[in-house]
Structure 1
Amino acid sequence: MSSTTTSLYYATPSVTVMDNRGLNIRHIEYCRQTPGETAQTYISRQVFDTAGHLSDSYDPRLYSASLTDSTVKPNFSYRYDLTGALIYTDSVDAGPSLLLNDAALRPLQHYNADNVRKRYEYESPETGRGRVTAVYEKKSASEERCLERFVYASNTSEAKARNLFGQCVRHYDPAGLLQTNDISLTGAPVSVTRRLIKDAASPDILADWQGKNADVWDSRLDSENHTTLYTVDATGAVLTTTDTRGNRQRVSYDISGQLSGSWLTIKDSPEQVIVKSLTHSAAGLKLREEHGNGVVTTYIYDPQTQRLVGIKAERPSGHTAGAKVLQDLRYEYDPVGNVLKICDQAEETRFWRNQKVVPENTYRYDTLYQLISATGREMASAGQQDSRSPSPTVPLPADSSAFTNYTRSYRYDLAGNLTQIRHSAPATSNNYTTEITVSGRSNRGVQSSLTTKPSEVDALFTAGGQQKQLQPGQSLSWTARNELLKVTPVVRDGGRDDRESYRYDAGSQRLLKVSEQKTAGSMQTQQVLYLPGIELRTTATGGVIKEKLYVMTMGEAGRAQVRAQHWETGKPAEVSNNLVRYSYDSLTGSSGIELDGSGAVISMAEYYPYGGTAVWTARSVVEANYKTVRYSGKERDATGLYYYGYRYYQPWVGRWMSADPAGTVDGLNLFRMVRNNPVKYSDASGTEATEYNLYSSNNKNTVVYRVEPLVFSEKFTHTFIDNNNARIYYPQASASGKLPYRSAEGKNNPTYYETVQGKGYVNKLTAEEKKMQATGEPVNLKFIKSKITPSSKQGLSTYEYSRNYLANNSGQPLGTMGWLGFNSPERAYDFYQQKMANEGEKLTFVVKSFEIPSGVYKAIAETAITEHMRSTDLTAPINVDVVAAGQLGLQSHHLDLINKFAINGSARVYQGDDVNQLRSIVSYQSATRIKHSPLRDSESTQKTKIKFRNLLN
């Protein structure tokens, strides 16, 4: 980084203000775009109630407005029940939400901003194990519908032969039926069938599984079965996938669990190699991979930061198509990992209209690491883009007149809303500005073509934060679950409208897309059915099917996204059948250069930072028309929107169409795209910005296991896991609190509450509570949420942020939360067996688990102490009755970090016979070593070692 760039950050610290309880009540940041200018102060505010619960959160824009206008609401308001559990949330972006749990802390009723009530039914204790059996939905004054039904296998010989006993074997959902036919010994499904509801292509058909008669439910289903078959190894990893049309994908893994090869067999055709070989470094980073088309990709990393600095894809010497460097991307970063420059050294520098057009992109950021300027090249024919897709240049460019330089600048408000995109390409006079109008009372925003008045913006959204118009006159309809149901780009009086509609499964993942468009006096209907490993695409005109295309989507293909196209009918003459298309990604996952099975170039694309196509060339228009995966590696619909999984994205305005369903996981602004840094971050599913990691493992989370009493008891544990949302709670810190202690020699069976120095997270027991503890009765304690709020993560990887956070908060009160083996299910199983076999134990135990990002786990594992260190640190975790050497002792700052990053909905409880499943769950040992803290160096040779899959995500 140059000295000029460094000076930009002078006197721009991140400041956290705490009250006398240690609660973060202010967060101050300073924003500057150019060196020397006065930095703008951004103040975020948080309000806590008397119990220490967060009650209100303001972003800098709404906090500033609230100082002069008392009617301005906070971004988020929270309300809790008498136990401290969150039950009500009110968001200016997503509206209010109320969740009521039953006595077992299971969701019972949920109300959202659009006046939709969701109701859950469970098995009774007399007839079952308390599992969910149905989900009902009622919107406003409409009749209540049963949207989901769960049917579990009973104790029959057939069910046990298929390993189905106790499992959900028939799940009726909004799309139809998902049936599990067989399960392996590891718990992985090996045969799954999907059936659609009748007339699923119509958005007006709604699922309703009322009653108790399965025959009636099945009568509402289409007769066609779509069955997918899997084979798995002893660890549960999928080895082969046979899709519903008989095509087979096969993969292999090396001893560390990394992909080592993959193959595809199109039905009635010989098997072909997709990934021929892969090589990784000792740190688990990908170094080299060779695909079935003979193209070799090599990776270069900075030796100090391990950041990717080079990707080269080439046809090597001896290739049948001739040796050629196809792509040679070089990356430059600033110290915190923001990308400053990307250069493709495989492309030529060109000259046109007295300008030098270099194949590189440069980027500039403000002190909040928001992208404020980008330069690059675009096609000379490029114009202003909206929902319409630009036409490709055909054939592939061969002269210097194809490209020109462009500059884009971006402007944001205090809440991080993108408010302006200014585009300039002087050589072609392609100059324009896109304005975004943002509400003055929320972060809802629309392109100024819909309105220029902030006071009118909120009316263009539903109460739950879903945009109601795409462009003027183009309406959007949404389901009761806040899923995009239908887009109507053309409305006709007295005739059928053009429209695109969608249907989703129980997990809100798109299963069906139907596009209807009037062409030459008749309606053309294009339908896509998304199934595991394959897309079934049909095109009909006037009700007559003209084309049937099956697109095989490879699940494991290394760096490339690989799609094979097989036509049953209607194959274009210009395209060969069974065409395999290798799409090579950029740092953020965008589909760049596309090659065929022989290594020849099919197409090439470059994108503006927030989306939109800058360069789009292909060897034929027909082949270009069948390219659906583009920016960020996502599918672009006919509407111009990109489908990400949980949300749709508008690239021409750099905003999401709806509020983030994951809440504040990515900040208070629920419409902001990837923290306004689309060069560094991508979003895999539409819920959270992450650094796209194309050079390491696909698994980005670590599963955490812990043995706990079924009923909470202070005697055994000072924390527990909430099974509904994977959040940890622990008792309030007390100056007179005491920590578990035993002598270093371990000769005596110690008492639980010997005094040690410092504050602990265990409240001092009263005389009555001690009596309860002695008899094994649960002791009631007051639980609070974390009091140490982590500082801004902006600009850092999860691992970097976690290390910094732990270092900055290491002086906080100590805790004694012990996690056995942390991510080892085998260790959890062994410890569970020890506890259950202990004759003096009066408690019933279970094993609980949830997921956290692997970068968070790595940082904790490097800083936590273990039970073995009891001789040097009295706050190390202990177990009085059994030996558990090697478990990690988590202190308060560790717990706070986990609370921030725990994956919602990932929690699971193993009890009774379910605990046996832990023996078949695989945990991987990465080649990357954990850098132990000095306290832990002496234990590095112990037989129990910490396992993790290193991802540095």
Structure 2
Amino acid sequence: MNSTKIAVHQKTPTVTVLNNRGHVIRDIAYHRHPDSLTTTDERITRHQYDARGFQLSSTDPRLSDAKRTNFRYLTSLSGQVLRTESCDAGTSLALSDAAGRPMIAVSQISTDENGKDDLSRGVTHTFQYEGSSSAGRPLSITEQLAGHDALITERFIYGDNSQAAKDKNLAGVCTHHYDPAGLTQTESIALTGVPLSVTRQLLKEADNPDLSVNWPENNPDALLSAEKHTTQTIADATGAVLITTDSAGHQQKVTYDIAGLLRTSRIILKNGTEKIIIKSVDYSAAGQKLREEHGNGVVTTYTYEPQTQRLIAIKTEHPAKKKVLQDLRYEYDPVGNVLSVTNDAEETRFWHNQKVVPKNTYIYDSLYQLVSAGGREMANAGQQSSSLPDSSTFDKATYTNYTRNYTYDRAGNMTQIRHSAPTTANNYTTEITVSNRSNHAVLKTLAATPDKVDALFTPGGQQTQLMPGQTLAWTARAELHNVMPVTRKGAAGDSESYCYGADSQRILKISVQKTGNSTQTQRVIYLPGLELRTGTEDYQVICAGASGRAQVRYLHWADGKKDHLRFSYDNLIGSSGLETDGDGNQLSQEEYYPFGGTAVLVARPDAGIDYKTHRYSGKERDATGLYYYGYRYYQPWAGRWLSSDPAGTVDGLNLFRMVRNNPVTLYDNDGLAPEAPKSLRQLAKDATKDFRRYTTKDVQAYMGGIGELGGHAFAAAHEETEIQIDKMSKKQRGTEFGVTLDKMSSIITKKVSSYKPANSYDAEPAPVSAKDRSGLIGVPVYGSADKFSAPLERDINKNEIIYRTISEEHYSKLVDTGTLSATTETSVSPALAYSEKYSGVLVRFTMKEGTIAKLTDIGGAVNDPAGKRLGLEQLGSGWSGHRAGFKTEGNQMTIHLGKGTGLDIFNNNIVTYNRMKKMEKIAA
């Protein structure tokens, strides 16, 4: 790094201020721009709490200057947030029932400066459940817009207790889920929980953009289309999917290596045609992908920096043709920001007395926001807009250098993009107007002054105009519903409308365009592994899933037209650059500006570039120019999201900022929050591969000590979690990334994988493989069925197992008397991990059933006998404080017997004991 880059970051720490309760009340950051090294802006984010310790408000530096707040909260006595006032997402209410289940949620409330609520556009969702005599499962969800009748938008029907339901593992499972798009019917489930057969039916009137579904209790199927789309799956005993048959009858088959990582994949069309997609994959010892060969003969190799494991090279070539197709080389700063990307497969060119190198460079401010970028663009690129530039052929493409400079306000809102390409005079500035009351912002062509901006958003923070004259309509669930790119006086305009399932993921897209006297309608149905596209031509797109940094799409025409296989090779953040066909020949090459938008687009004349639908960040680009990420839409010409973040403040107080304004280092997978580079993500996947039947949420819960793990592995991993979190938080206090799931899961998996829980019948511990998925990692055969149970292990007679390491002298007394002596060594634990930390003789005690409960009831000598603590499920803080009478020592659950009643109860309940081994360790 040069001196200027170093100077930008000198004396710019991140400071966190805590109150005496440990709550963060100030986050202080120091902003410095590379062009003004002598100026440093102190930016303070403020948080307030009430007397109970519950958060009241949060304010960013920009709105703090204006004496406004970003968020205000009203909480219940237990701390549950009842009311949230957001300057970006409006006011919302959330009430739960006595069981803690969502009962009523109200959104789209507008609150003025005097605190007065306007409910004229409010949306109320009400949740109905089974009665107290049943399991309390959800039955329906009602949706009501202000001034309209209530509509039942979701209904749930569950499998009964019949033999037919049991045969397909459907007893008690939701088999019919009616949602705003139609019906999802589950017909069969594996023992591992993998759905084996799922059918999706759309509404009869799904194409009607004005339709609002209201599911009747009787005969709801009358509203459904007769066409059914069934996806069938075959999985192995671990839950790994082996074969998927889509609704068109095409199959995708995958195989795995011994570590459970993807090895090969292939597609078999309904007509029997078979295509190899992935021929082979090689991995490093850490599980990182090193080499991947596809069925078209193209090979991609990955190179990592040894010290950091950052990806520094992606080389794609066709060995048989001796041709390098793409060779991306990455350079990073010490923090991990991308400084440059060079494509060594491209030649340096000269045009109009300028040298054009196939390289992109990036400069950041002290907050790691991208402030300047340089690269190459096509000479005919023109000003970036919602439209794609015209493509050129490989042999006729002409390139020129460009520079882009980005400006942000104190809240991270982009306010200006200044583009400069002097040789072609392609110089322009995009101005963005930001509200003075929120983080709402639009192009200056939509609102010239800040006071006009908020009127272009719904109360919930959804933008209502895309470009001048282009209106946007939203569903009651804040999903983009309809776009009118072209309006006509006295005639219907062009439109694009969307339909979503219960999970807010897009199921249907309908585009209507009027050309002359005719109207063209394009329709896309999104199904698992398949897209059904109809319109000017009808064809199917078989999506071969994520295969490394390549997306594979097989275009199949049922009318006999020749099929078309497209391999797309992605860069670090998933953007689709190189495209090849089924023979490994280059189809197209696309390069992007940092925040999206196409800078270079070259293709073969017969490439069918219109069939390329996924571009920047690997996401689908709609006819509107918007990118669909899953939960939100992104507008690349403005570098910001179209709506507020449905996940709230997971990525800060600004609900519209895109990937922390660092788009070449970070990426967003689904529109909720940015993620670290894919190399870390891959490590996280590999580290948690043995949690195959658990979700990411479960893994995160596990790391917090409140999740799915039970038994000794839980105790050992929890201790390691506490140690590593403490170490890593100190190390990374100056960064914005904090402790990542990626790194923590890798550390803990190692710890758990090497752990050896005791077998109830062996004198020595018996090994348990980390790949044993009969339960979860390290849970013994006779571990408690209740994962929150105090006794971690029992023998076959339901006796409870307790461990303690004692001295040789005290062990001799135990042998002589059959009882544990009153010593300082009377802290025992159901967790073997606790006793293994001490030197002496490790003893396993078999105790009568109920012993631990008796000790819990009376408390220990160092605990308040009358003090009943919350159970683990309620406390949510790992083993510490679990049940009355327990304490935490070295982050392990222990019971201190003392020298009185507790010790007597223990000795009176000993069934037997076994000397396990001699521990040669330093006492903790």
Is the TM value for this pair above 0.5? yes
1:633 has 2:634 as partner: no
* Residue 796 to residue 33, structure 1, CA distance change in 2 (3 Å): farther
**Is this contact kept in 1: 2:549–2:574, CA < 8 A?**
no
Q: Which amino acid aligns with 2:300?
A: T
Residue 736 of structure 2 corresponds to 794
Q: Residue 149 of structure 1: CA displacement? A: 0.6
Structure 2 counterpart of 1:238: 241
1:696 is matched with: 682
1:411·1:420 contact (CA, 8 Å) conserved in 2? Answer: yes
- 1:587 aligns to what? 572
1:20 deviation in Å?
Answer: 3.0
Question: 1:249, CA displacement in angstroms?
Answer: 0.3
Which residues of 2 match residues 555-594 of structure 1 at below 5 A?
A: 555-569=545-559, 577-594=562-579
- CA shift, 1:728, in A, is 11
Q: Deviations over 1:315-374 (max 9, x none)?
A: 11xx2xx21011111000000000001000000000001100000000000000000000
SS where residue 62 of structure 1 aligns? helix
Distance 1:653 1:900 in 2: 42
In the alignment, the residues of structure 2 paired with residue 254 and residue 271 of structure 1 have an alpha-carbon distance, to the nearest angstrom, of 22
> Does residue 290 of structure 1 match 2:297?
no
Gaps of 5+ in 2: 110-121, 692-696, 707-728, 749-767, 786-790, 801-830, 853-871, 879-915, 920-924
Q: Determine the structure 1 residue equivalent to 2:170.
A: 164
Deviation at 1:124, TM superposition (A): 1.1
Correspondence 1:386-401 to 2 at 5 A: 386-393=385-392, 395-396=393-394, 398=395
Aligned partner of 2:310 among 300, 307, 320:
307
Please state if 1:871 is matched with 2:845: no
Task: Using CA pairs under 8 Å that are at least 6 residues apart, name the structure with larger relative contact order, 1 or 2.
Answer: 1
- The separation in 2 between residues aligned to 1:551 and 1:159, in whole angstroms, is 34
Give unpaired runs (5+ residues) of structure 1.
Answer: 67-71, 540-545, 572-576, 706-721, 732-786, 807-819, 843-863, 885-894, 902-938, 943-953
SS at match of 2:201: strand
The question of whether the paired residues in 2 share the 8 Å contact of 1:548 and 1:570 is answered with: no
Distance 1:313 1:500 in 2: 37
Residue 141 of structure 1, CA deviation: 1.2
Match of 2:640 among 621, 631, 655: 655
1:383 equivalent in structure 2: 382
Correspondence for 1:685 among 653, 664, 670: 670
**Distance of 2:690 and 2:137 partners within structure 1:** 23
Query: Which residue of 1 is the match for residue 100 of structure 2?
Result: 105
Residue among 500, 503, 509 paired with 2:499: 503
- What TM-score results when the alignment is normalised by the length of structure 2? 0.77
Q: Does 1:664 align with 2:649?
A: yes
Supply the distance in 2 between the matched residues of 1:495 and 1:410 (Cα, whole angstroms): 41
Q: Find the aligned partners of 1:94 and 1:881 in 2 and give their Cα distance.
A: 57
Distance 1:550 1:353 in 2: 45
Which residue pairs with 1:604 in the alignment? 589
Tell me the equivalent position of 2:356: 357
**Closer, same or farther: CA 360–788 of 1 in aligned 2, 3 Å:** closer
Verify the 8 A CA contact 1:490 1:498 in the aligned structure 2: yes
Report the Cα distance in structure 2 between the residues aligned to 1:354 and 1:122, rounded to whole angstroms.
73
1:603/1:162 Cα in 2 relative to 1: closer, same or farther (>3 Å)? same
In the TM superposition, residue 270 of structure 1 has moved relative to its aligned partner by 2.7
Q: How does 1:258-337 map to 2 (within 5 A)?
A: 258-316=261-319, 319=320, 322-337=321-336
Tell me whether 1:191 sits opposite 2:197 in the alignment.
yes
Is the Cα contact below 8 Å between 1:727 and 1:899 reproduced in 2?
no
Cα displacement (A) at 1:729: 11
Q: Which moved more, 1:352-361 or 1:4-13?
A: 4-13
SS of the equivalent of 1:491 reads strand
Q: Note the C-alpha offset of 1:163.
A: 1.3
Deviation at 1:62, TM superposition (A): 0.9
Aligned-partner Cα distance in 2 for 1:697–1:182: 33
Point out the more displaced range, 327-336 or 87-96. 87-96
Q: 1:822-861 alignment to 2 at 5 Å?
A: 825=776, 827-828=778-779, 830=781, 831-833=783-785
Aligned counterparts of 2:358 and 2:846: Cα–Cα separation in 1: 61
User: Can you list the C-alpha shifts for 1:169-195, whole angstroms capped at 9, x where unaligned?
Assistant: 110010000001111121111111000
The residue that corresponds to 1:2 in the other structure is: 2
The Cα offsets for residues 780-823 of structure 1, whole Å up to 9 and x where unpaired, read as xxxxxxx99995752667269979x99xxxxxxxxxxxxx9999
More displaced stretch, 622-631 vs 656-665: 622-631
- How high is the TM-score relative to the length of structure 1? 0.75
Find 1:448's aligned residue among 416, 435, 444.
444
Distance, in Å, in 2 between the alignment partners of 1:792 and 1:200 is: 51
- Counterpart position of 1:754: none
C-alpha distance in 1 between matches for 2:877 and 2:649:
10
- Identity fraction in percent: 51
Residue of 170, 179, 184 corresponding to 1:173: 179
Change (3 A) 1:788 1:872: farther
Task: Give the CA deviation at 1:123.
Answer: 1.0
Q: CA deviation at 1:829?
A: 7.4
Q: What corresponds to 1:249 in structure 2?
A: 252
Post-superposition CA distance 1:662-708 (Å, at most 9, x none): 00111110000001000001111000000241683684895999xxx
Q: Quick one: which amino acid aligns to residue 148 of structure 1? A: E
| 1:593-639 deviation per Cα after TM superposition (whole angstroms, max 9, x unaligned) | 00001000111000000000000011026600111000000000000
Letter in 1 for 2:665: K
Q: Which whole-Å CA distance do the structure 1 matches of 2:163 and 2:139 have between them? A: 23
Q: Distance in 2 between matches of 1:728 and 1:691?
A: 19
Q: Name the counterpart of 2:337.
A: 338
Name the CA distance, whole Å, in 2 between partners of 1:369 and 1:252. Answer: 41
SS at the partner of 2:156?
A: strand
The CA deviation string for residues 864-885 of structure 1, in whole angstroms up to 9 with x for no partner, is 9953455389xxxx9999999x
One of 126, 133, 138 as aligned partner of 1:119: 126
* 1:538 equivalenced with 2:537 (yes/no): no
CA apart distance, 1:278: 0.6
One-letter amino acid of the structure 1 residue matched with residue 740 of structure 2: T
Q: Does residue 88 in structure 1 map to residue 95 in structure 2? A: no
Q: CA deviation at 1:308?
A: 0.7
After superposition, the Cα gap between the structure-2 partners of 1:728 and 1:9, relative to the gap in structure 1 and judged at 3 Å, is closer
CA RMSD in angstroms, aligned pairs only: 3.5
In the alignment, is residue 201 of structure 1 matched against residue 207 of structure 2?
yes
Residue number in structure 2 paired with 1:549: 539
2:183·2:200 contact (CA, 8 Å) conserved in 1?
Answer: yes
**Which residue of 2 is the match for residue 460 of structure 1?**
456
Q: Report what 2:428 is aligned to.
A: 432
Partner residue, 2:415:
419
Q: CA shift at 1:727, angstroms?
A: 11
Contact 1:594 1:604 in 2 (8 A): yes
Secondary structure in 2 matching 1:7: helix
For 1:237 and 1:313, the matched residues in 2 are separated by: 29
Q: Which segment is superposed worse, 794-803 or 169-178?
A: 794-803
Look up the match of 1:527: 523
Query: Where in structure 2 are the equivalents of 1:871-910 lying within 5 Å?
Result: 871=838
Task: Show CA shifts across 1:453-504 (max 9, x none).
Answer: 1111111100000000001111000000000000011112221111000000
Instruction: Tell me the SS of whatever aligns to 1:625.
Output: helix
Amino acid at match of 1:86: V
Tell me the amino acid that sits aligned with residue 38 of structure 1.
T
Cα distance in structure 2, aligned partners of 1:76 and 1:564? 47
The secondary structure found in structure 2 opposite 1:40 is: strand
Deviation of 1:51 after TM superposition, in Å, equals 1.0
CA radius of gyration, larger in: 2
- Deviation, 1:236, is 0.8
For residues 648 and 226 of structure 1, do their structure 2 counterparts lie closer, same or farther at Cα, with a shift above 3 Å needed?
same
- Indicate if the aligned counterparts of 2:153 and 2:179 stay in contact, CA closer than 8 A: yes
Offset at 1:121? 0.9
- Structure 1 residues 301, 61: closer, same or farther in 2, change over 3 A? same
User: Structure 1: how far apart are the matches of 2:299 and 2:329?
Assistant: 16
- Superposition deviation, residue 90 in structure 1: 1.2
